[in-house]
Structure 1
Amino acid sequence: MLGPAVLASCVAQLAMRPTFVTFGDSITQRGFAPGWTGQLADAYQRRVDVLNRGYNGYNTRWALQLLDRVFPNNTAAPPPRLVTIFFGANDAALPDRGSARQHVPVEEYASNLRAMVAHLRSIGVPAVILITPPPISEPDRLVHVEKTYGVRLAVPERTNEAAGQYAAAAEAVAQELGVPCLNLWRAFQEVPGWQQGLLNDGLHLTQEGNAEVYHLLQALIDERFPELRVSRIPQDAPDHSAIDPQDVPVAFEKHFAKQQRRHETEAAQQAARSPSREEL
């Protein structure tokens, strides 16, 4: 039997607008300009607050230093309902070329992903998705470096082969830990003309590339976490068409009463499935 304190805590958390957090490198940081994180936020408007926590240039080694700040475990606020972890493009920079300072060995990369998932689980995040680095268009990386920095390289600082190794490592970690994985390295290369159609500098995403990430991610959310589908998360206030100008409070009372019943049902199910934080 559930204790009243546990049930009340679950109801209180569900009554707040839930959050999704996108945690990653520059491909995530640029996701609102416009990009895949912006499209995710648009799809869940008035239902979920989508928080972008992207850090340009970061690898998993550096990102580990942010875990406790981005995802604190000493707060009264409920944990995010969903977190995406999207690193690897910088980890995969080759150790003997121009971006060597960002390189992280693939074994350490996998270990860092495990540590991130473990931390998120320890604070009660119920849904985690790993996203692999995208493929690399090596000729376009050479062009980008020359145009941006005035440096003509004989070989690129990143290769598609290396990116594929890190994508495989992320996918293996996801399978090991039982979390979904969106393998962009594989999915992008199935799109004809992906080199310029989905990537704008051999690495970062075009508008079409951002749209592709959003659609693939939304499909994965819908498949693996059906309770987080847009249609399953109610809006946090009544629609304006339900408000009677002559008796404004009625629509709000009905909406919040319906929400409360739904939250109580979900809270009971959630508390029955998982131990409380105090028990972890």
Structure 2
Amino acid sequence: MAKAKFVLFGDSITQQSFLPAGGWGAALADRYARKADIILRGLSGYNSRWALFLLDRIFPTAALNPPVLVTVFFGANDAALPDRKSKAQHVPLSEYKENLQRIVSHLKGLSPSTRVVLITPPPIDVRGRQAYARYLRRATYGDSAEELPERTNEAAGEYAQACKAAAKEAEVPIIDLYSIFQQNPNWQELYLCDGLHLTAEGNTVVFEELVKILNSIGLAEENLPLDFPLYSDVDPLDPEKICRP
């Protein structure tokens, strides 16, 4: 029997989920060691529109071993303001919701056992984004660099609501990261390293919330079989038995 596959599909926040300092994808791989293969498909800078073009490449419908879980974590780039530096990443709100629905529909069509979890974009700390932009731009353009934020927390909130609506209509679980983070009064410094991407603490929140959902949908770590017997169960006189059905 093939080992379960969990695919993490998203933008840079997913791509960075295997960073050494407490990435949520790395924590998931550790939790599910020998129980599931954690496959990273995070694409820095991508939005939901561009993700649609990759569905058949990353998730072919004829796959013999489709994933049992896919996390879908887009929206932070879609919510970039259309008149600022990151305007190429912007996707209108209504299209973003429709894109998520199309992604979920494709993933559900892979197999009756494939489960999908949506994750909202995180809140935006505008001061953190401005400080990060100031650092980058002054290094390149000097003190006259523009410091207007390319994202706002208000816009991120609208996209988070659209993500929640898409999850409700598709009847899939969701991690409302936008709301969860802001329950902590110090969320800006605690969970975000540059006003957008996650600190180790922010990664921990994603991991813990995802584990709660996995436990609730029958994918708890203890419910999945080991890929091979424990070493204590290996017959030293006939170790080849570990490879027999």
The bucket for the TM-score relative to the shorter chain is over 0.9
Q: Distance in 2 between matches of 1:149 and 1:40?
A: 35
Partner amino acid, structure 1, of 2:186: G
Does the alignment pair 1:104 with 2:97? no
Q: Deviations over 1:110-147 (max 9, x none)?
A: 00001001111122152000000000000010000011
Partner amino acid, structure 2, of 1:248: P
Partner of 1:274: none
Cα-Cα RMSD: 1.4
Does the alignment pair 1:213 with 2:206? yes
Q: Is the 8 A contact 2:228 2:242 kept in 1?
A: no
Q: Is the 8 A contact 1:142 1:153 kept in 2?
A: no
Does the alignment pair 1:86 with 2:73? yes
Does the alignment pair 1:43 with 2:31? yes
The correspondence of residues 19-98 of structure 1 with structure 2, limited to 5 A, is: 19-34=5-20, 35-75=23-63, 77-98=64-85
Q: Is the 8 A contact 1:238 1:252 kept in 2?
A: no
Q: Distance in 2 between matches of 1:251 and 1:83?
A: 30
Q: Deviations over 1:227-280 (max 9, x none)?
A: x10000011100001123134355665xx4xxxxxxxxxxxxxxxxxxxxxxxx
Partner of 2:184: 191
Q: Is the 8 A contact 1:18 1:80 kept in 2?
A: yes
Report the Cα offset of residue 96 of structure 1. 1.1
Partner of 1:182: 175
Name which of structure 1's ranges 148-157 and 165-174 shifts more when overlaid on structure 2: 148-157
Does the alignment pair 1:16 with 2:16? no
Name which of structure 1's ranges 164-173 and 192-201 shifts more when overlaid on structure 2: 192-201
Partner of 1:238: 229
Q: Distance in 2 between matches of 1:17 and 1:132?
A: 28
Q: Deviations over 1:8-41 (max 9, x none)?
A: xxxxxxx101100000000001111131111111
Partner amino acid, structure 1, of 2:93: V
Partner amino acid, structure 2, of 1:239: L
Which of 163, 169, 180 is residue 162 of structure 2 equivalent to? 169
Report the Cα offset of residue 149 of structure 1. 2.5
Partner amino acid, structure 1, of 2:231: H
Which SS does the other structure have where 1:41 is aligned? helix
Q: Deviations over 1:54-82 (max 9, x none)?
A: 0000000111111110001133x221000
Q: Distance in 2 between matches of 1:104 and 1:112?
A: 10
Report the Cα offset of residue 154 of structure 1. 4.5
Q: Is the 8 A contact 2:73 2:120 kept in 1?
A: yes
Q: Is the 8 A contact 2:137 2:146 kept in 1?
A: no
Partner amino acid, structure 2, of 1:88: G
- Which structure: greater helix fraction? 1
Equivalent residues, number = 237
Q: Distance in 2 between matches of 1:248 and 1:66?
A: 42
Which SS does the other structure have where 1:136 is aligned? coil
* Residue segments in structure 2 that go unaligned for 5+ positions in a row: none
Give the TM-score of the pair, scaled to structure 1: 0.81
Name which of structure 1's ranges 168-177 and 116-125 shifts more when overlaid on structure 2: 116-125
Q: Distance in 1 between matches of 2:202 and 2:175?
A: 14
Report the Cα offset of residue 155 of structure 1. 2.9
Q: Is the 8 A contact 2:133 2:147 kept in 1?
A: no
